[in-house]
Amino acid sequence: MRRVLNDGDLVLRPLVARDAGELFMLADAHRKALGRFMTWLDRTKAVADVSFYILNLDGFWKSGLTYGIFRQDTLMGTVGFHNADHRNDKAEIGYWLAPPYQGRGYATRAVGLAVDAAFQFTSIHRLEAKICPTNASSIKLIERLAFQREGLERQGLKFHTGYRDHYVYSLLRHERESS
């Protein structure tokens, strides 16, 4: 599954150590907007934190796999898989795009590419997404990709401001194939 994904415009490439500086600068420049919904920004204070994250990504079924989302060689954000459970063939998907690149359909396309690759190149049966109820853009995106809302997990996300609820969404293999 560690391959480059491409739709002729967007390129998704697994992150490597040399991406750390660019990734940190992008996230740091938009820290306030992105940090509203992503817990990891609280813990990401320097390039070294991003390097540590990337170096510990050792695969879809292990600690995770994250793709950089590029357009014309510019890094715009990431989409990745984590918390995989091989025994039950399921994993979580997460994604973000820096604000200058939002509102153009790139994120839906990038997440769609990653979802298709996961079903094509792994034995995954169920993909999950966990989304704060106030994250309207992310809810629209995931519902556009035919994920179904299953319910509300109470206080399952820890932010520096406290524990927050999130919706649990899922997409099953046959649902993607038929969408």
The residue count for the chain: 179
Select 17 or 29, whichever has its Cβ closest to ligand COA: 29
For residue 13, the tally of other CB atoms under 10 A from its CB is 16
Q: Which residue is nearest to ligand COA (CB)?
A: 105
Pick between residue 18 and residue 161 the one whose CB is nearest to ligand COA. 161
Rounded Cα gap, residues 50 and 62, in angstroms: 18
Among positions 71, 106, 128, 172, the unique one binding ligand COA when judged by CB under 6 A = 106
User: What CA–CA distances, in Å, run from 80 to 29, 101, 160?
Assistant: 21, 18, 23
- Decide if residue 38 touches ligand COA (CB under 6 A): yes
Helix (H) or strand (E) run with residue 138 in it:
helix 136-144
Residue 70 makes contact with ligand COA by CB under 6 A: no
Which window, 63-71, 112-120, 129-137, 147-155, contacts ligand COA (CB under 6 A)? 129-137
Is position 96 an interface residue for ligand COA (rule: CB under 6 A)?
yes
Closest by alpha carbon to 138, among 8, 33, 10, 12? 33
Contacts of 49 (CB under 8 A, 6+ apart): 24, 43
Options 41-49, 58-66, 103-111, 150-158: segment touching ligand COA (CB under 6 A): 103-111
Q: Which residues bind ligand COA (CB under 6 A)?
A: 34, 37-38, 95-97, 102-108, 131, 135, 137-138, 140-141
